């Protein structure tokens, strides 16, 4: 006799909790071969706004942690993801229709990406900042700081590595994130949220919405309390409209790119602001 399995309900991840969409809407997610996988939540404008509120509330705490602490938290994500390798591989294989081996390689790459970015937390400021030799009796230093709340549209074609490649770098400096998962492969994003929820990542630092980037993207691009938007997964011509909407509040915008972004310090620095502090020097 075969055991009847217990399927998971995939919900949103907002402020450290797993609510359903306030809209009550879901979207059917099917595997590459057409079989039913789950009813993912179809996030609404209100869910996006709630996620921004949660992300804003978490900024001071997360940006205020020590770089060493943030590095350990991101490394902890890698540890826990490694431990759930089988689950993620199965989910990826089902959703993307790739071989088990390819799915496992994607999980491994995602784990390694967390490790790589974790190591940047207490180093990026040394590389991106510097002392400035000004012509006068002043101590003068430029340091990068987190931009604030970053909205991220995850790459559409990759269920796990794509979103980790855009999420992890945004977290390094201490930004908080509202992430819109791939519309085609949303389930790994919610499973990753379960990892984050148990990895010492404070509530609200990462918020995950599933649904349509085309529906939620414009609200996030125009939202006055979002400081930056990563359009990595904004496909087609409509991303120009998102950039135009973002101009109203002078958001920092990363333009879309094909495929999964490579590991790069540039992605970390893209979501920082350089602050330059002058202080007088005097023996008086």
Partner 1 sequence: MGFLEYAPAPESRSILSLKESYGLFIDGEFVDGSGDPFTTISPATEERIAEIAAGSAADVDRAVAAARRAYDTTWSRMRGSDRGKYLFRIARLVQERARELAVAESLDNGKPIREARDVDVPLVAAWFFYYAGWADKLEWAGLGPAPRALGVAAQIIPWNFPLLMLAWKLAPALAAGNTVVLKPAETTPLSALLFAEILQQADLPAGVVNIVTGAGDTGAALVRHPGVDKVAFTGSTAVGREIARTVAGTGKKVTLELGGKAANIVFDDAPIDQAIEGIVQGIFFNQGHVCCAGSRLLVQENVHDEVVERLKQRVSTLRLGDPLDKNTDIGAINSREQLDRIRELSDLGEREGGVRWTAECEIPQNGFWFAPTIFTNVSTSSTIAREEVFGPVLSVLTFRTPAEAVAKANNTPYGLSAGIWSEKGSKVLAIADQLRAGVVWSNTFNKFDPASPFGGYKESGYGREGGRHGLAGYLAPSKPTVAAISGTVEKTDRKGAKK
Q: Which is nearer to partner 1, 44 or 227 (CB)?
A: 227
**Which residues share a beta bridge with 254?**
230
- 275 scored as a contact of partner 1 (CB under 8 A): yes
* Contact predicate 152/134, CB 8 Å: no
Q: Which stretch binds partner 1 (CB under 8 A): 4-12, 117-125, 132-140, 174-182?
A: 132-140
* Smallest distance from partner 1 to CB 120, Å: 11
Phi/psi of residue 79, nearest 5 degrees: -60, -45
Question: Which stretch, 17-25, 70-78, 209-217, 270-278, contacts partner 1 (CB under 8 A)?
Answer: 270-278
For position 134 contacting partner 1 by CB under 8 A, the verdict is yes
**Site mask for partner 1 (CB under 8 A), range 162-191, x = bound:** ------------------------------
Nearest to 92 by CA among 164, 4, 196, 151: 164
Helix residue ranges per DSSP H, the chain: 45-64, 67-83, 85-96, 100-120, 124-128, 161-172, 187-197, 213-222, 239-247, 265-269
Structure tokens belonging to residue 124: 């990026």
**The only residue of 26, 44, 106, 210 in contact with partner 1, by rule CB under 8 A:** 106
If you search the block for the tokens 């909205």, which residue do you land on? Answer: 151
Buried b / exposed e over 107-140, threshold 16 CB at 10 Å, is bbbbbebbbbbbebbbebbeebbeeeeeeeeeee
Asked if 124 and 269 count as a contact pair (C-beta separation under 8 A), the reply is yes
Q: Are 117 and 249 in contact (CB under 8 A)?
A: no
The residue (of 106 and 183) whose beta carbon lies closer to partner 1 is 106
Q: Give whichever of 9 and 248 is closer to partner 1, judged by the CB atom.
A: 248
The residue within the footprint of partner 1, chosen from 23, 39, 142, 214 (CB under 8 A), is: 142
Q: Does 274 bind partner 1 (CB under 8 A)?
A: yes
Residue 236 burial class via C-beta count within 10 angstroms: exposed 0-12, middle 13-18, buried 19 and up: exposed
Report the nearest approach of partner 1 to the CB of residue 205 (Å): 18
Contact flag: residue 99 with partner 1 (CB under 8 A): no
CB 221 within 8 Å of CB 229: yes
Region from 22-30, 126-134, 176-184, 192-200 binding partner 1, contact rule CB under 8 A = 126-134
Binding characters for partner 1, 51-90, by CB under 8 A (x = yes): ----------------------------------------
DSSP string, 158-181: -SSHHHHHHHHHHHHTT-EEEEE-
Which tokens go with 12?
A: 């949103």
Indicate which single residue of 128, 149, 180, 195 sits in contact with partner 1 (rule: CB under 8 A). 128
Question: How far is Cα 231 from Cα 245, in angstroms, rounded to an integer?
Answer: 12
CB of 94 to partner 1, least distance (A): 20
Q: Specify the residue, 31 or 249, whose C-beta has the smaller distance to partner 1.
A: 249
Instruction: Give least dist CB 105 to partner 1, A.
Output: 6
Residues making contact with partner 1 (CB under 8 A): 105-106, 108-109, 112-113, 116, 127-128, 130, 132-136, 138, 140, 142, 147, 161, 227, 239-240, 243-244, 246-250, 252, 255, 262-266, 273-280
């Amino acid at each position: 006799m075969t055991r009847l399995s217990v399927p998971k309900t995939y919900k949103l991840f907002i402020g450290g909790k797993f609510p359903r969409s306030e809209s009550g809407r879901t979207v059917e997610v099917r595997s590459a071969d057409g079989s039913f996988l789950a009813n993912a939540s179809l996030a609404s404008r209100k869910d996006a706004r709630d996620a921004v509120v949660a992300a804003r509330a978490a900024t001071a705490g997360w940006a205020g942690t020590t770089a060493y602490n943030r590095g350990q938290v991101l490394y902890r994500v890698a540890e826990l993801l490694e431990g759930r390798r089988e689950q993620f591989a199965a989910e990826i294989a089902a959703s993307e229709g790739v071989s088990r081996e390819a799915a496992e390689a994607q999980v491994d790459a995602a784990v390694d990406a967390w490790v790589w970015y974790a190591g940047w937390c207490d180093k990026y400021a040394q590389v991106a900042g510097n002392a400035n030799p000004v012509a006068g009796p002043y101590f003068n230093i430029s340091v990068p700081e987190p931009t604030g709340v970053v909205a991220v549209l995850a790459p559409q074609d990759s269920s796990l590595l794509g979103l980790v490649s855009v999420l992890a770098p945004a977290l390094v400096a201490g930004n908080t994130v509202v992430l819109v998962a791939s519309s085609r492969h949303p389930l790994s994003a919610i499973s990753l949220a379960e990892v984050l929820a148990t990895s010492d990542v404070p509530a609200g630092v990462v918020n995950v919405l599933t649904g349509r980037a085309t529906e939620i993207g414009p609200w996030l691009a125009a939202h006055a309390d979002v400081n930056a938007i990563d359009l990595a997964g904004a496909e087609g011509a409509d991303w120009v409209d998102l950039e135009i909407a973002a101009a109203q509040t002078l958001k920092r915008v990363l333009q879309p790119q094909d495929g999964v972004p490579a590991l790069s310090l540039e992605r970390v620095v893209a979501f920082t602001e350089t602050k330059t502090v002058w202080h007088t020097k005097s023996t008086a």
